[in-house]
Amino acid sequence: MGTNLYVGNISFNTMENDLNELFAQCGTVARCNLIADKYTGRSRGFAFVEMSTEEEAQAAIEKLNGKELDGRALRINEARPREDRPPAGRRPPRGGGYDDRRGGGGGGRDW
């Protein structure tokens, strides 16, 4: 098991400091990253918390999963590794469009 935890169902009013204090009850918090919308800066309702040891991470899951914080029951799981995705803005062609092959063509009248 890893030490990185996914924390979901977070209230939009919860701040990183609140999560740090909560998870500190289970051990040393190495890092806390509350995910925010890049345009509005508002919380997206989930975070990643890294605990110092696997034992502390397991203790946090057992103790805090389902615990209410700011009116919401937290969902805590071991974080999965990030999947590689293609770079934004570089999509494969969808088909259709202009094809550079010159072919055939209708002739005029056949007199």
Taking alpha carbons only, the member of 55, 69, 64 closest to residue 16 is 69
- In this predicted model, what pLDDT tens digit does every residue of 45-63 receive, in sequence order? 999 999 999 999 999 999 9
Domain boundaries along the sequence of the chain: 4-78
pLDDT band at 100 (very low <50, low <70, confident <90, very high): low
Whole-number Cα distances in Å, 48 to 43, 59, 76: 13, 16, 9
| Average pLDDT over every residue of 71-96 | 79
CA 24 to CA 50: how far, in whole Å? 11
pTM of the model: 0.72
How confident is the model at residue 90, as a pLDDT?
Answer: 61
User: Is the per-residue pLDDT at 87 higher than 80?
Assistant: no
Residue 101 vs residue 27, higher pLDDT: 27
Superfamily classification of domain 4-78: RRM (RNA recognition motif) domain (3.30.70.330)
In total, the chain counts a number of residues equal to 111
